[in-house]
Structure 1
């Protein structure tokens, strides 16, 4: 206990520079949200322009890249400081955007999206780590709500921006527009983000990097995503090309856990982060929430484009019911946690709403009411927004403030890795259901191994009756199964939420990483 107080201090004053730092975090968060969500509505046009077929990998490549560097990124931030790592993340994101925008093939687009993801994942982790440097846990829900607002604005406008640009044949600007915004973000970070970094010889700091653990987790994650992306699409689920990477990836996770517990001198995931019941519950809920958020955000536009003849832009607007409820519920949750010092009731309510909203979506037919679709999205969006903010509390409450960085890095890793599962599971279910449900005469138009959903959507509107209605009904039925699968997975989150204990929330921050201008210390604290 004494050690914790020696290294913590009261929260910094909220002067103009503090808010400048918050702005420097808000803009990159908005940017990454636009990039993650904007691609979905533009993808049918992109796939057609590039004569591609592997649409799932365009989404999975970004989320996989966003996951790969996350365990590594917390260690880099501890060694070199928050600012330089954030600047490097913005640089990676810019390079990936330039490559994706200049793509002449699906392979080049996927490569650019992967590099984008590397930068985007690091940005997401750094935002949370920097907030932990500046804001105590008790108050952090409100500030995480502000970041959720950035995510909501970006996530809500992303599908509309992507769809509008795609309709005009200008989808490349979805990537090119990132470049000036990244430049503005880099200027803000360079000017505002002046935080302390503990002094120590570089050689000693480098020894704290768990290179073996990072290699194991990146390799395992990649293998699992390859298996999920290929299963039932390019190869049968029983094929060795699907089973081998899946099995190797899952075994890799087990090896990673054993190595972190017994072999690593400076583990990425210290054992205490996953052996505490409340923290483990928070990590599980965070993972399931990320999976549901990605699955709903990525696949909702498919329903509206295929079943409602919505344009790419209109399908983005049709998903506003989900995207624009996440932020308000996040901010309200942060305020209620700060006022009541409680987080469990909000999270229990959230899971009920998520299960209800996702389950009701499965009742929509091809001719289902748009109003119902919007209402069901609102239920799910409120639940997602609550857990988006509240999942930090059971993770961080049981541990000392000084351990926030590894805890937050692992928290962000799980959320981003969950997005990989949300996109790929939804894609695998949709592909298999469409293959089973689509009229054989229509399905015969697509070569073996083609990922049918995005290839078929542009053709639906011009089909003769009754084939057109049959195809729309097949899409609606396939989407219903996607929502049912997601609802079933959401049940795991509800069960995990019952494991939490009610714990007090920290009112201090780690002094070692506060602001260099002295505002990171409370009045009268020692230098």
Structure 2
């Protein structure tokens, strides 16, 4: 057995300072992602622009998703430190602009700037952890980062509801202290090695500016179409179809451009990332995981409000079993992968649990007991949580360490892109089934309110429970059938994930950390590289010892 096989990871105090700062900024970015949901009605009342609420909420999502691959390439060229500081600074700047907005346009711009910073933060957090921690132990250390983000996402709506009482601007200002503390620690201690170009001009030449511009424009067009569809315009409207079609054409053109070494010598998303079967499968799994997570988060409140008559606040409380178990499941999965070195059994178990949980959800109706839906949520949380920290190391296992940034940014993009589809697909299914079954509703006024995409909005404010008994029973039955169809449709995506896992290959998770972006000591030396070199020397010496 070589010395490399006996290596263990023992981080020092500087690592822990950086690690805690990463957890803080992960928490702040996740809070900002969800805090606006409960505060949005108060914000639009105070600043106006109730007709633009969809852009106040989603400009953030569009901006954060579209720029993720760009931050991956930039971190390869400029190093990890400068892009990380810039991302946090952009995030803080956007928070300040949104909090100080005097009109709805300024608020939307602030939210978009926040989104750009957040997209960089989520990508660079994972990249930095991968630079500091050997592959074998990455899941273990990614777990608390994900946990901090999950806690922020869970507390965001609660904080939004509480802070709006003191003034809606605090909904955005609350992230500034976390950003400031993270910036302080990063500026002082985040000293990571990277190959330095002689000038910024040469760095900019290396950056794939045309490719990134095409990618950002294409993804933005697709997301704009998906977000407007069924909300601002009907799905058949050219306002929806044109941006989606143009975005898809642009996305395909982007990948064709990336494959040309003449036009694109240093691609943002290198085609070689897809040549490893396991890595390619896990990219798809990350999309499915993000989509199914959003599907669950989107439809459980709908179930509670429609069939149980719960208020928005109560429906949020009722989803606590899922949110409370999600992050512990991720951390346990990360530790198990670090201990065993195997990810494939965890992926099989995860998607099997999700498929079972979604199938059980299809049995829910207005009479389902609390114990029933709590148990179903726990099953889903165990499955989804297991994928949070085990997919990225599996992607990286089949790729060299030099591709860590590109692979990590693409993984983050697919996961975030899945979030949008996790709302779009179930919404289409729900509205389709509601429209198809409207003939069963005897009240013509109720039929009109629920038709053409009005099914979700009709639930708000407890409208169903205030209906006459006969109409209420009819409406509840129609929502029960529509929700069941949506849950059944989601099983297909979970089963797709399960069968894709069968195509994965076991690849040994490296215990050595051979990276060009290691943590420098106070004199500027690369500590991880020195450790790996020391192991190599020991291996050579042991091979030269005669028996």
Say which is worse superposed, 95-104 or 183-192, in terms of deviation. Answer: 95-104
Q: Is 2:21–2:181's contact at 8 Å kept on the other side of the alignment?
A: no
Q: Is 1:161–1:313's contact at 8 Å kept on the other side of the alignment?
A: no
Give the root-mean-square deviation of aligned CA atoms. 3.1
Q: Is 1:355–1:487's contact at 8 Å kept on the other side of the alignment?
A: yes
Q: For residue 516 of structure 1, what is the aligned residue in structure 2?
A: 520
Radius of gyration: which is bigger?
A: 2
Q: For residue 282 of structure 1, what is the aligned residue in structure 2?
A: 282
What do residues 369-408 of structure 1 show as CA deviations (whole Å, max 9, x unaligned)? 3332222221111111111111113311111112211111
Relative to structure 1, the CA distance from residue 515 to residue 60 in structure 2 (aligned partners, 3 Å threshold; closer, same or farther) is: same
Relative to structure 1, the CA distance from residue 31 to residue 204 in structure 2 (aligned partners, 3 Å threshold; closer, same or farther) is: same
What do residues 89-124 of structure 1 show as CA deviations (whole Å, max 9, x unaligned)? 122222333344455666554443322221111100
Q: 2:234 aligns with which of 236, 243, 253?
A: 236
Relative to structure 1, the CA distance from residue 406 to residue 311 in structure 2 (aligned partners, 3 Å threshold; closer, same or farther) is: same
3-state SS, counterpart of residue 270 of structure 2: coil
Q: For residue 66 of structure 2, what is the aligned residue in structure 1?
A: 68
Q: Is 1:44–1:458's contact at 8 Å kept on the other side of the alignment?
A: no
Structure 1 unaligned regions, length at least 5? none
Q: Is 2:64–2:118's contact at 8 Å kept on the other side of the alignment?
A: yes
3-state SS, counterpart of residue 221 of structure 1: helix
Q: TM-score normalized by structure 1?
A: 0.88
Q: Distance in 1 between matches of 2:477 and 2:169?
A: 32
**Aligned residue runs from structure 1 range 81-480, under 5 A:** 81-102=79-100, 108-165=106-163, 168=165, 170-202=167-199, 203-262=201-260, 263-433=263-433, 437=438, 440-442=444-446, 444=448, 453-454=456-457, 456-458=459-461, 460=463, 463-466=466-469, 467=471, 475-480=479-484
Aligned: 1:26 with 2:23: yes
Q: Distance in 1 between matches of 2:426 and 2:293?
A: 11
Say which is worse superposed, 176-185 or 137-146, in terms of deviation. Answer: 176-185
Q: For residue 504 of structure 1, what is the aligned residue in structure 2?
A: 508
Q: TM-score normalized by structure 2?
A: 0.85
Q: For residue 495 of structure 1, what is the aligned residue in structure 2?
A: 499
- How many equivalent residue pairs? 517
3-state SS, counterpart of residue 50 of structure 2: coil
What do residues 65-103 of structure 1 show as CA deviations (whole Å, max 9, x unaligned)? 111211111222223332222222122222333344455
Q: Is 1:35–1:158's contact at 8 Å kept on the other side of the alignment?
A: yes
Q: Distance in 1 between matches of 2:508 and 2:128?
A: 22
Relative to structure 1, the CA distance from residue 482 to residue 130 in structure 2 (aligned partners, 3 Å threshold; closer, same or farther) is: same
Relative to structure 1, the CA distance from residue 44 to residue 479 in structure 2 (aligned partners, 3 Å threshold; closer, same or farther) is: farther
Q: For residue 15 of structure 1, what is the aligned residue in structure 2?
A: 12
Structure 2 unaligned regions, length at least 5? 535-547
- C-alpha displacement of 1:273: 0.4
Say which is worse superposed, 365-374 or 217-226, in terms of deviation. Answer: 365-374
Larger relative CO (CA 8 A, sep 6+): 1 or 2? Answer: 1
What do residues 134-174 of structure 1 show as CA deviations (whole Å, max 9, x unaligned)? 001111010011112212222222233334456x4855433
Say which is worse superposed, 145-154 or 51-60, in terms of deviation. Answer: 51-60
Q: For residue 52 of structure 1, what is the aligned residue in structure 2?
A: 50
